[in-house]
Structures are given as C-alpha cells and as structure tokens.
Structure 1
Amino acid sequence: MRFVLPKGRLLRGSLEVLQRAGIELRPPGERRLVERVGNHEVLLARAFDVPVYVEYGVDVGITGSDVVEERGSDVLVPLELPFGKCRLSLAMPNENRVDPEDMDGYRVATKYPNVTGRFFEKLDVEVDILRLSGSIELAPKVGIADAIVDIVETGTTLRANGLVEVARVMDVSALLLVNRIAQKTKFEEINGLVLGIKEAIENGS
C-alpha cells in the first residue's frame, strides 16, 4: 500500500497509530520524497495536500478534519483518530469583540476560506474573507482584518496577540482517509488496516 502522511504536528501520531495496527513505517529521510518500507511506500506532504494525494491515487492518508472539510476532496473517511485534537475558532481583538451575528461587513483572515464562508452563511452574515497562508494572528494586529478563523490548541498564541475566541467553528481531530478505487481494488488490505487501527484505538494499546 501507499501511504501519504502529514508533515508537522500530526506526523508522530500518524506513525504511532499505524504502528499499533501492525504497520511499521518510517518517513522519508531528508531530501527524499518517498520511502519504501517492505511492501509499503510512504510519502510526506503538507497536511493541506494529503486529501488531494488520496483523491488522485495514493491508497491511504492521514490529516486533520479541518483540512478535509476545507478541501472537500472526494475520499472515504472510515475512522476518526485519537490525536490531533483541537478546534477551529473565530477570534478577534478583545477590545473590539462582537458576536458573529453582528459581523456584517467585517473582514476575516483565514487559511480556511471555504469553512469560514459556510460558517457565516449559516448565520446569514456577509463578511469579506481574506485568505492568508500563515501567521494569521498578525492580520488584526496590523489592521488588515477585523477577526481571524484559525486552529486553536491552548489559546496561548491568541492571548499573546491580544485576541480572544468568540465562537467555535468546528472541532478538529486527525482522520484516516482512503482512496475510493483502492478501497475496491485492495479491499482486504485496507479493510484489515482499518479494523486493526480501530481495534488498537478501542484497546488503547
């Protein structure tokens, strides 16, 4: 099987949960993009790109539910995984705090324009969404946005930048993704993997 794993904070948990299910993998070494381990291949990619790799041919991937929701990729999601827990939240400077329902005409900076758009559509509130790819907390600080939608784990980064959470947009955790064609052509292998991971999670092993 071919696996695509996320660089960054989810990589360790991804390797551990697969190991508990009996799949021993190691990420590619520096400068290498693909690592072969026994009958498996491992690719490392940005978390945001993992669903795209899985949709277009890699058998199995792991990434956050925030990414899956934002990308809208056509993949199977057989399991939620017990790591990568955090939340996607709306935050703004404490001194300018308002409820989301009162944000008509506000500018919101985020890496998640689709999720953010749907959140405000449900509230029937029109906002101007500014797409940024990093250091989102800077946007209100320098005055280019009124609020942000971003991942929050402890809230420390928000507080350090004078921001407060106003609303939770969605809860986030790591997800197992499966390519739709691979689910049929490699049914036994993939089914065995899913059951193995499920059993490992339930047993807490």
Structure 2
Amino acid sequence: MDKLTIAMPKGRIFEEAYELLVKAGFDLPEELDDSRKLIVEAPNEGFRFILSKPMDVPVYVEHGVADIGIAGKDVLLEQGRDIHELLDLEISRCYIATAGLPDTAMDEMTPRIATKYPDIASQFFRSRGEQVEIIELNGSIELAPMIGLAERIVDIVSTGKTLKENGLVEYDKIVDITSRLIANPVSYRLKQKRIDEIVERLRK
C-alpha cells in the first residue's frame, strides 16, 4: 500500500472533513483530534496526517511534503498555487463578501479596503474598474471600519452574526466557498490509483 501524507487544516474544516472520511469508511484514529499533535499516523489506512493552519495546507501540497490536502476555496483563490483540485467536498460552506458600516459611501479618491485576502479583494475591485488601497490585516477584520482604518472589509461570512454584532452590513457577495480535496501534481501522477480511490469513496 502506498503511504499517503495528507495535510489537514485544524478547526471547523478539520472536524467536518474527519467526519466525511469516517463516513467514507476510512479507519482513522480518534486522537487525530488531539490538538497538541502536529503529525498523526493512521497505520490501518497507510495515512500520515499533517495538521496545520488552513493557509499552510496548499503550501505543503505544492511543495510535495503532503501528497494531498483539504483546503478552503478561499485559500486556493488567494494563493493561486500549483496544485490539482480533485473534488469539491461541499463542507464548511461560506462566502466572501464586502462589508462596512451601514449607509456609508466609499471614499471617491482611493477607498481603503481591509482584508486578509489582498488578492481576491484587488481582483474584485479591479473587475469593477475601481482603484482601491488594500490594507492587509490578519485578525478581527471587522475592527477596521469601526476605528476608521478602512471604509470596507473583504472577509469570509458564514452566518453574518459577527458582522451584525459589530454593527456592520454586507454590501457585495464576491464568491461562494467550500472545502476542496487537492493534490500535488507529481504525487498524483505517481500514486494516482490510490488517490483516485479516495476521491471515489469521498464522492459517494
């Protein structure tokens, strides 16, 4: 059996993906959920899991330290890495949207947009012929309009609760997001039979 290394993001995507793999009949260890461990073996399946931050999964897959991985479409769009996207797992549904304080217009000169998705944000505003200044933030993006750092934010929305709690409203929906199964192109060529079998089982 070919040994496969799988990169998985910690958090919500992990929980849903774990459930999906178990439902597909894969025999996985329960301590996979042990947040202190970064590498977990599933000897019965010949899997080795690397548990990491969601943003790092495509990096591991592109560089071949992981054969396959599970990543949100938001991360894939933002990073544009050289990987194969094999399957939409249809889990962790959400979308990327622009938001800001209610009834506020954008600055006519160069509006400021705060986001952790600089690429997605620039592309969206460019597609509308708007020039904006992108301010890259890593956490609590909602703060930006509240403290006058930016007129709009571009961020992930799942229920809209966080926006509401911070007095923000949604302006434009940019793109729907789900989690995808991705593969390293070389690994896919060398271990295609094994990887295709996983894709088929997950698809069912």
For normalisation by structure 1, the TM-score amounts to 0.91
State the secondary structure of the residue aligned to 2:114. strand
Deviations 1:85-143 (A, max 9, x none): 11100001003146xxx865110000100010110111110000000001000011111
1:77 corresponds, among 85, 88, 98, to 85
State the secondary structure of the residue aligned to 2:48. strand
Q: Percent identity?
A: 38
Which one-letter code corresponds to 1:45 in the other structure? S
Matched residue, 1:203: none
Deviations 1:157-202 (A, max 9, x none): 1111111110011110111111111111111100100111111xxx
Question: Hey, what's the Cα distance between the residues in 2 that align with 1:6 and 1:194?
Answer: 18
1:40 corresponds, among 41, 47, 57, to 47
Deviations 1:13-32 (A, max 9, x none): 11111222232334263432
1:22-101 correspondence runs (5 A): 22-26=25-29, 27=32, 29-38=34-43, 39-57=46-64, 58-97=66-105
Question: Hey, what's the Cα distance between the residues in 2 that align with 1:153 and 1:28?
Answer: 23
Which one-letter code corresponds to 2:83 in the other structure? V
Matched residue, 1:202: none
Show structure 2 runs of 5+ residues with no match: none
Question: Hey, what's the Cα distance between the residues in 2 that align with 1:103 and 1:66?
Answer: 28
Question: Hey, what's the Cα distance between the residues in 2 that align with 1:28 and 1:172?
Answer: 24
Which stretches of structure 1, 4 residues or more, deviate above 6 A after TM superposition? none
Matched residue, 2:185: 180
Q: Does 1:135 align with 2:143?
A: no
State the secondary structure of the residue aligned to 2:57. helix
Q: Does 1:153 align with 2:158?
A: yes
1:11 corresponds, among 9, 14, 28, to 14
Question: Hey, what's the Cα distance between the residues in 2 that align with 1:109 and 1:30?
Answer: 30
Compared CA separation, residues 183 and 169, structure 1 to 2 (3 A): same
Question: Hey, what's the Cα distance between the residues in 2 that align with 1:77 and 1:110?
Answer: 25
Higher alpha-carbon deviation: 44-53 or 15-24: 15-24
For normalisation by structure 2, the TM-score amounts to 0.91
Deviations 1:59-82 (A, max 9, x none): 111111001000111111111112
Contact 1:28–1:44 (CA under 8 A) maintained in structure 2: no
State the secondary structure of the residue aligned to 1:144. coil
Contact 1:106–1:146 (CA under 8 A) maintained in structure 2: yes
Show structure 1 runs of 5+ residues with no match: 200-205
Give me the CA root mean square deviation: 1.5
